[in-house]
Structure 1
Amino acid sequence: MARRVLRAGALAGVAFVWLSGAVWADEARRIAFSFDDAPRADGPLLSGAERAETLVSGMARAGIDGAAFFVLTQSIDQQRDGAARLRAYVEAGHVLANHTHTHPWLRDTDPATYLADIDRATEMLDGFDNVVPYFRYPYLDEGDTRDKRLAVVAGLESRGLQNAYVTVDTYDWYMQALVNEAVEAGHPLDMDRLRDVYVEVLVETVEFYDALAVETLGRHPDHVLLLHENDLAALFVEDLARVLREDGWDIIPAADAYADPIAETRPDTQFNGQGRVAAIAHAGGASPRELVSPWEDEAALRARFLANGLLPEEGSSQ
């Protein structure tokens, strides 16, 4: 299959170029899957329990091992069978990690309060197996000031927690919001077309950040893909993995990805919302507008859904 690549030199113009599979063919490209905000509430297509079962079986068929689930611990008791769903992920060979208790923005929180929220999550995770010492910032928000960022970094280090950065940020959460909107409007969904749009958007986003990594680092790092534990992930994870492999990617456990040298690279920047590679590029002088995938834009995604008949046309009635 031809490889979809966004040339890093044309990032500002967001122009996609199709290159032959021979490009970079001698270099391994590896990516790990991670899922934020588990266990989430029932969705419009699947209940929480159905989602967990579908996601576990889909990853098993796809050969995805050691995925990381970042747990929002207030949801364990709030969601029906929340603890059982997390244990299902563990029993399938995946790992759990800390995503705070209440999902605060660090920019709106003082470091002491923020770290206390992390501590509460740690206490709640003590009752589970396969909990790894990773912490992922909600919203990838590492604070609005350097002092605040460094205070939390010091707090994480004192607790033995590693920053579970991502290298591929996505707006999968907004695609799920668009599906919610369509279902609420009574709009019939073509599930094959929805699958294709979901997978295409995510693969194009992976290629964007990998091209950025090659231009910034001179190599392909082991990537960490940010997804959310939502209906779309459960329904289409197997398809996403298949297309990534067709495009030359190996899918690896999160623990392997976090052994990449960029885990030790801590760019001195507040521009962290697009992940570690974009932060490194920004610290090196790149403009923020060059560092954000074109599919991290709500208007662009809405237009793509509309063009594919996945939303009702404005003004139409169902």
Structure 2
Amino acid sequence: MKSCLMVLVLLLAAPLSLAKEIAITFDDSPRKAAGYFSGPERAQKLIAELKQHKVPQVAFFSNSSKLDEEGVKRLQAYSRAGHVIANHSHDHADFNRTGLEQYVEAFLLADEKLGQFENFKKLYRFPYLREGNDKAKRDGMRAALKKHGYSNAYITLNNYDWHIESLFQAAIDKKLAPDFERMGQFYVQVLMESIEYYDQMAQTHLGRSPRHVLLLHEMDISALFIGDLVDELKRKGWRIITPERAYQDEIAQYQTERVLPFNPGRIGEIARDKGQKKGLWHSTLDENYLEQRFISEVLQADMKTLL
């Protein structure tokens, strides 16, 4: 009898143990809001969607230069809802075009200003994912993070959601009235394609699916369609986890010895170090490709009629 019960327990637990895990993060908060939503509307909608779809916690990687009165209130709302506020530099500088000393100063200024938020954590997300285009800069910033008690908040799942947002806002501005059902389907499908691609790359080079970190941006389409994305992830067997849990994966300790001026994310780093030279960026990470799909799948128009 006991052996039968044990088998039953194992069978019931199996789907959970095989579930792939993913944490959700949003860059560039409090991002400019001058389109479909105002800043407060976006925050309210995003918080509500995350709660409704039972997302335990996300992280907002924030630029301290945007902390005007409204920006502070927006980050306070995210923090009070239980979400992490983290460091994305003061001014979102491109490390490839910025000296180490100036870059570290911006990092520390953001640390000071973002520390006011109750749920602030010492995680640093490099703007544009660019971690230094020479060894001195790369190693200098690694040392600065260590000195000030920070972890590198790498991503594993890359995409161009920011360009989808620009297409959406341009359509609204031009009064092209995108169909919101089609828009949601497009958003989810494009993101799932890249998520599944990078997960397969991880399984190829690691032999397993790691605890993934999804890069998104704090934008109107995120607020509108994050619930649809979460539902699709769960439907396909993914479990939504906290950023803290994701960064406990052993790949958090991985450091490439290569200098990568354009970083494809942690899975891309590992793949490159293991000899993969092509396909480090998924096909959806292409602006022209996304524009063509947006026009045909969302606007359902011929591109020639819109030029």
TM (normalized to structure 2)? 0.91
Q: 1:286 matched to which residue of 2?
A: 276
Share of identical aligned residues, percent?
A: 37
Give the whole-Å Cα distance in 1 for the aligned partners of 2:38 and 2:234.
29
Residue 106 (structure 1) aligned with residue 95 (structure 2): yes
Contact 2:23 2:213 in 1 (8 A): yes
Amino acid at match of 1:28: A
Amino acid at match of 1:153: R
Amino acid at match of 1:127: Q
Give the whole-Å Cα distance in 2 for the aligned partners of 1:86 and 1:99.
13
Give the whole-Å Cα distance in 2 for the aligned partners of 1:210 and 1:307.
27
What is the root-mean-square deviation in Å for CA atoms of aligned residues?
A: 1.7
Q: 1:18 matched to which residue of 2?
A: none
Amino acid at match of 2:225: F
Q: 2:177 matched to which residue of 1?
A: 188
Give the whole-Å Cα distance in 1 for the aligned partners of 2:21 and 2:269.
20
DSSP 3-state at the match of 2:149: coil
After superposing on structure 2, the runs of 4+ consecutive aligned residues of structure 1 that deviate more than 4 Å are: 311-315
Residue 31 (structure 1) aligned with residue 31 (structure 2): no
DSSP 3-state at the match of 2:28: strand
Are residues 43 and 193 of structure 1, via their aligned partners in 2, closer, same or farther at CA, if it must alter by over 3 Å? farther
Give the whole-Å Cα distance in 2 for the aligned partners of 1:213 and 1:232.
27
Contact 1:168 1:274 in 2 (8 A): no
From 42, 45, 48, give the equivalent of 2:33.
42
List per-residue Cα deviations over 1:211-258 (Å, max 9, x = no partner): 000001111100000000000000011110000000000000000000
Contact 1:213 1:277 in 2 (8 A): yes
Are residues 275 and 317 of structure 1, via their aligned partners in 2, closer, same or farther at CA, if it must alter by over 3 Å? closer
Contact 1:212 1:277 in 2 (8 A): yes
Q: 1:54 matched to which residue of 2?
A: 45
List per-residue Cα deviations over 1:66-119 (Å, max 9, x = no partner): 210001111111xx5111111111111111000000000111111111000001
Contact 1:64 1:251 in 2 (8 A): yes
Q: 1:156 matched to which residue of 2?
A: 145
The CA deviation at 1:259 is 0.4
The CA deviation at 1:312 is 6.0
DSSP 3-state at the match of 1:134: strand
Give the whole-Å Cα distance in 1 for the aligned partners of 2:151 and 2:93.
18
Amino acid at match of 1:159: H
TM (normalized to structure 1)? 0.88
The CA deviation at 1:198 is 0.1
Name structure 2 gaps, 5 residues minimum.
1-14
Larger radius of gyration: 2
Q: 2:86 matched to which residue of 1?
A: 97
Name structure 1 gaps, 5 residues minimum.
1-23
Length, aligned pairs only: 292
Residue pairs, 1:73-84, within 5 angstroms: 73-77=64-68, 81-84=70-73
Q: 2:128 matched to which residue of 1?
A: 139
Amino acid at match of 1:115: V
From 154, 163, 188, give the equivalent of 1:165.
154
